[in-house]
A = this chain, B = another copy of it.
Amino acid sequence: MEINPNDLKPKDVYKLLSGAVIPRPIAWVSTVSKDGINNLAPYSFANALSGDPPTVMFSGGRPNGNNKDSIQNVLDTEEFVFNIVTYSLAQQMNISATTSSPEVDEFKEAGLTPGKSKLVKAPRVLESPINFECKLIGTFDISGGVGPGSLVVFGRVVHMHIADDVLLPDHKIDPLALDPLARLSGPSYSKIEQLLNIERKNWGADVDPKKK
């Protein structure tokens, strides 16, 4: 099928794009508003971008033309925490995804514990095994569509909390122990069930699905 995005409704373009670029990692972004209210929301238009310096990003739309609460809080405070959502935290993530007014503290709604961060005021999700404390380093505005567009937020990771039980020797992380929730599209998510190891130098090797 050949598709010119201009010929479709924006929501249909969104369905195609979010259905094609999968699986996506989830940035579970915790922030605090300038009025001191904690906020927590998941973003899957998100990723790491660089290890040196350690940099992450997430992108949020502008429902009704306004920035999402997380984005507004990042712009106001220049800080956020990028928490990892595990499979076992799927329901709490889902509760935190519900659109709510800025006065709502999604930590309370979802029954999660806001943990003290080391270098930022925004709380971290204590139930999550990995929390990256971030300082805002820039934004990229996406506009020119039918609606009000999106804003991409870039953060420098200034401190990492990593649970010992997901760490392997030599600064590796065990993907099956971490058991992250992966975003697909619509109501669908997935998880990592087995690893496929592909050695880069070994061009002729067959793909070797390997259970842990």
Total interface residues on A, CB under 8 Å, equals: 103
Query: A15-B171, A154-B140 known; A3 and B162 CB under 8 Å?
Result: yes
**A167 contacts the other chain (CB 8 A):** yes
Q: Report how far A84 CA is from B178 CA in the complex, Å.
A: 25
Q: Is A123 an interface residue (CB 8 A)?
A: no
Of the candidate stretches A31-39, A42-50, A68-76, the one touching chain B is A42-50
Smallest beta-carbon distance A176→chain B, Å: 10
When distances are taken between beta carbons in the complex, the residues of chain B under 8 Å from A205 are 91
Q: Which residues of B contact A181 (CB under 8 A)?
A: 196
CB atoms of B184 and A188 under 8 A apart:
no
- Measured between beta carbons, the chain B residues less than 8 angstroms from A145 are 50, 52-54
Q: Kindly state the separation between the CA atoms of A61 and B161 in the bound complex, as whole angstroms.
A: 25
Q: How far is the CA of A164 from the CA of B3 in the complex (A)?
A: 12
Closest to A203 in B: B95
Cβ contact within 8 Å between B185 and A173: yes
B-chain residues with CB within 8 Å of residue A118 when the two chains form the complex: 2
Query: B residues within 8 A CB of A24?
Result: 24-25, 47-48
- In the complex, the answer to whether B193 meets A188 with C-beta atoms within 8 Å is no
Contact with B along A1-24 (1 / 0, CB 8 A): 111110010111111111111111
